[in-house]
């Protein structure tokens, strides 16, 4: 019930206004978001790289309703990739792109606009030795996102996909994507989805995560295991013994465990969000883990 309420709040203009205007929010948000500007993302990348961790960077923004907004997002990613290159940080970096932020939901030609814009970002990434991963959003966009992925991979076969374990369809999608050269991030999923398309019980989601992870580990692609769950991390280590894969975690969550994984020689990639449109991302992080919400409420109380 709490998770449902938080996800509903993520779409509420009133809740957004209250949270964004609170002077107590910013210090807490800073735990999960690198900052508002390109320079903030670059500095966060430098710090993570210095600690042995890799990055995937997300310029926050979604639900784009104007072509100009989509164009702005593309420019932000190009600027980011250029800045990373200038600082010697681009090689091996990844950028995560929500297709909704580059025009997917625009009326008429939204699908084509998103594909063209994602291609521009992929081209910029290729030019500096970085990669691109297409974030997955709510289930209504899954088919469109996978279609755009296919179009991009014709020219950029290293473009990464994301699968969400709470969707019923994901096991089948994993079998399709577990092919040579295919980078696939597996996460649990962070959107409010109906029972008709998604598992509602945490135990069911966890079981499906394990099934899909096994498919990816036994396939010929490159699995990217996005989880903060110690049990899943341990099982991934067993299933992935002797093969190439990586762990992924969110910026600001379990940083000590991130460093432990990196120190033992495994690839640990951190999902680094930045930008002024942090509200939706922040609320989904609170909904995902009770510990995140407890941290937020405790911080608000001590600053009141």
Structure-block tokens of residue 62: 């979604």
Strand partners, 185: 162, 224
Q: Spell out the residues 6+ positions from residue 277 whose beta carbon is closer than 8 angstroms to its own.
A: 60, 61, 62
Instruction: Count CB atoms within 10 A of the CB of residue 127.
Output: 13
Phi/psi at 131 (5° precision): -130, 175
| Residues with catalytic roles | 135, 185
Per-position b or e across 207-220, b if 16+ CB within 10 A of its CB: ebbbebbbbbbebe
* HEC string for the chain: CHHHHHHHHCCCHHHHHHHHHCCCCHHHHHHHCCCCCHHHHHHHHHHHHHCCCEEEEEECCCCCCCHHHHHHHHHHHHHHHHHHHHCCCCCCCEEEEEHHHHCCCCCCCHHHHHHHHHHHHHHHHHHHCCEEEEECCCHHHHHHHHHHHHHHHCCCCCCEEEEECCECCHHHHHHHHCCCCCEEEEECCCCCCCCCCECCCHHHHHHHHHHHHHHHHHCCCEEEEECCCHHHHHHHHHHCCCCCCEEEEECCCCHHHHHHHHHCCCCEEEEEEECCCCHHHHHHHHHHCHHHHHHHHHHHHHHC
């Amino acid at each position: 019930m709490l998770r449902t309420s938080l996800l509903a709040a993520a779409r509420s203009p009133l809740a957004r206004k209250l949270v964004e205007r609170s002077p107590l929010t910013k210090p807490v948000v800073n735990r999960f978001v690198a900052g508002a500007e390109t320079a903030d993302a670059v500095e966060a990348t430098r710090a993570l790289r210095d600690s042995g961790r890799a990055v995937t960077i997300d310029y926050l923004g979604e639900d784009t309703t104007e072509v100009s907004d989509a164009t702005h997002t593309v420019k932000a990613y190009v600027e980011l990739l250029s800045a990373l290159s200038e600082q010697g940080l681009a090689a091996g970096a990844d950028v995560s792109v929500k297709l909704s932020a580059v025009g997917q939901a625009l009326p008429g030609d939204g699908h084509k606009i998103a594909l063209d814009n994602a291609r521009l970002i992929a081209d910029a990434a290729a030019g500096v030795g970085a990669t691109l991963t297409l974030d997955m959003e709510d289930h209504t966009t899954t088919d469109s996102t996978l279609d755009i992925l296919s179009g991009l991979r014709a020219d950029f076969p290293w473009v990464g996909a994301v699968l969400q374990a709470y969707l019923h369809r994901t096991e089948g999608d994993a079998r399709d994507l577990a092919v040579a050269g295919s980078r696939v991030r597996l996460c649990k999923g962070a959107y409010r989805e109906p029972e008709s398309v998604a598992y509602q019980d945490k135990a069911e989601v966890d079981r499906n995560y394990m099934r899909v992870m096994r498919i990816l580990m036994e396939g010929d692609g490159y699995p990217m295991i996005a989880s903060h769950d110690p049990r899943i991390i341990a099982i991934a280590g067993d299933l992935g013994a002797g093969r190439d894969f990586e762990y992924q975690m969110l910026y600001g969550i379990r940083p000590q465990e991130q460093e432990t994984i990196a120190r033992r020689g495994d690839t640990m990639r951190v999902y680094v969000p930045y930008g002024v449109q942090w509200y939706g991302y922040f609320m989904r992080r609170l909904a995902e883990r009770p510990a995140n919400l407890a941290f937020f409420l405790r911080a608000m109380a001590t600053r009141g």
